[in-house]
Amino acid sequence: MEDKQALNVLRHSTSHILAAAVTELFPETKVAIGPSIEDGFYYDFDRPTPFSVEDLSKIENKMREIIKADYPFKHLEISKEKAIDEFKKKNEKFKAEIAEGIDGDTVNIYQCGNFSDLCKGPHIKSTGEVKYFKLLSVAGAYWRGDSSREQLQRIYGTAFFTKEDLDKYLQKIEEAKKRDHRKLGKDLDLFSIHDEVGAGLILWHPKGALIRNIIENYWKKLHLENGYDFLQTPHIASEELYSISGHLQTFNENMYAPMEVEGKPYRVKPMNCPGHLMIYKTKLHSYKELPIKYAELGTVYRFEKSGVLHGLLRVRGFTQDDGHVIVAPDMLEQEILNVFNMAVSLLQTFGFYEYEIYLATKPPNKYVGEDSDWQRAEESLKKTLEKTGYKYQVDEGGGAFYGPKIDIKIKDSIGRAWQCSTIQFDFNLPARFDISYVDSAGKKVRPYMIHRALFGSMERFLGVLIEHYVGALPLWISPVQIVIANINEEQIDYCKSLLKTFNDNGIRTSLDGRNEKIGHKIRENAMQKIPYIAVVGNKEKESGSVAVRARGNKDLGTMKIEEFISLVKSKNIPGINEI
């Protein structure tokens, strides 16, 4: 029951039961595919009428009838020709299309009750083995992910071996809904997305832009301390650059169409690395300069299909905290360790202490570089991970075609894993751009290159951060750290002097001087998740103090101004406001 593969079999079998229920209730529906996924399963259907919430309830009840009937899952092997013919007779065009693409003369069919499905299996013995399941939602999906093909309806669900596991998962979903960064982003006035601007393109409001600026300042401080040089590259470049890098040949479907500039094709940039290597090539480098460390908060643009866009987590324009480290071969292991330690330091600063770490190795077929170089790079990554003391998993064949990599997934406060930091080795670009350095013998030698991103992207990381903290960001990141709230007009001048004092001390402060009851002000500002509310009445005005309420409705009592400033400053990161 604890085996992940067994859970996948259970969920995939439940997706068949879902399809059986749908086709029985809605005979006009055509079926497409229904795999198991990370936390459950889905099945895609072609039906002219959208599924409603009431339909999901009906489908669940029908699934329970099928489960109670305890139909066995029967495996049949039939000729491909016969399968295609039968699917076409039933007007199941999607299944016929899948069958036509299968190699060989035979195909596998699994039958439960009156429902037969093209499937390679395996499955549970009978429908009665499914005990604990739940249908979750309906979404749109293009057939085979192609926006030019049919728009299907995807029903998501999940299944577990125990009621306890199902209940835990459903509770986790409810908790995730409370944390949805799209809703919190709107409630806290951080960002917005508009059809008039374009799907997947973020508009940062003043508070959201300030949060970004604070985080970027910390990022710059960390990189200066670790010996990086900052670069800035254009948002567009000649198509020739991406031909040299190979992106035009291997990444074209994710790039935007060319624009013509004086008869020459240009592209908005999908990657920062080609520009960094062009900067490296502007002069001859000696081995004494290595490692050379470049970093850029570079905004890139990639075409993502509309069906996968999701708030800040999946966008079309995003800022990578990109870095490239050019090293001599004997420096590789140490520099990978330096980058890893830097990534962990950054993640812990933001409150992430649990990780899933993967070493992704050489793909089985398509890759560049010599096998001996791959072996050396993989060994360096492996030794680095062993030195860190962190547990890691090997993702066999999961490396990029240009080199092996280390991926770090962070665990948020409700246990969800998010891909953020990545450390990637690259055999490809140094060769394509023909970069070199002069070694101690005076010979030109090809260096190694490490790609790395610590946040991954600013947009995605901020989305994760908002959900991790349910919008109640740590004080040092909060756009407003203190709000001063007066009880009546008699304290307004004192409040204005406090506003200046706090801001002069580098504390981001606002004044709520509205003519409203103090209880109303406290409630509204608490909903904005501001770390401290400084309440001022005549008593505080006369004593030169403030009555402090901390986030979470904690009453800290009356504090002298100097004492309060000291408390807030102790939670800030020194220096980030000066960069």
Query: Active site residue: 12, 16, 293, 405, which one?
Result: 405
Q: Are residues 411 and 389 in the same domain?
A: yes
Query: Active site residue: 324, 452, 508, 521, which one?
Result: 324
Predicted local distance difference test score (pLDDT) of residue 364: 85
Q: Is 4 a catalytic residue?
A: no
Predicted local distance difference test score (pLDDT) of residue 579: 45
Predicted local distance difference test score (pLDDT) of residue 326: 96
* CA separation for the pair 532, 551 (Å, rounded): 6
pLDDT in tens, 403-457: 899 999 999 998 889 999 999 988 889 989 999 999 999 999 999 999 999 999 9
Q: Are residues 526 and 392 in the same domain?
A: no
CATH number at residue 125: 3.30.980.10
Predicted local distance difference test score (pLDDT) of residue 400: 82
Query: Active site residue: 273, 426, 452, 528, which one?
Result: 273
* CA separation for the pair 207, 284 (Å, rounded): 44
Query: Active site residue: 154, 293, 302, 541, which one?
Result: 302
Q: Are residues 146 and 294 in the same domain?
A: no
Predicted local distance difference test score (pLDDT) of residue 145: 78
Q: Is 446 a catalytic residue?
A: no
Which residue from 430, 398, 375, 107 is spatially nearest to 246, judged by alpha carbons?
Answer: 430
Predicted local distance difference test score (pLDDT) of residue 337: 94
* CA separation for the pair 289, 120 (Å, rounded): 56
Q: Are residues 25 and 158 in the same domain?
A: yes
Q: Are residues 432 and 548 in the same domain?
A: no
Q: To the nearest 10°, report the CA torsion of 98, 101, 107, 111.
A: 0
Query: Active site residue: 44, 55, 117, 322, which one?
Result: 322
One-letter amino acid of 195: D
| Positions in the chain whose pLDDT score sits under 70 | 1-2, 575-579
pLDDT in tens, 152-184: 999 999 999 999 999 999 998 999 899 999 999
Query: Active site residue: 320, 424, 481, 491, which one?
Result: 320
Q: Are residues 17 and 158 in the same domain?
A: yes
Q: Is 451 a catalytic residue?
A: yes
Predicted local distance difference test score (pLDDT) of residue 282: 96
Q: Is 64 a catalytic residue?
A: no
Predicted local distance difference test score (pLDDT) of residue 1: 53
Which residue from 396, 387, 537, 410 is spatially nearest to 467, judged by alpha carbons?
Answer: 410
* CA separation for the pair 9, 36 (Å, rounded): 8
Predicted local distance difference test score (pLDDT) of residue 2: 58
CATH number at residue 443: 3.30.930.10
Q: How many domains does the chain have?
A: 3
Around Cβ 197, how many Cβ atoms within 10 Å? 12
The pTM of the full predicted model, rounded to 2 decimals, is: 0.84
Q: Are residues 105 and 208 in the same domain?
A: no
CATH number at residue 549: 3.40.50.800
Q: Are residues 387 and 499 in the same domain?
A: no
Last residue of a domain, one of 468, 494, 509: 468
Predicted local distance difference test score (pLDDT) of residue 577: 64
Identify the domain containing residue 14 by its residue range: 4-166
Q: Is 405 a catalytic residue?
A: yes
Q: Are residues 451 and 492 in the same domain?
A: no
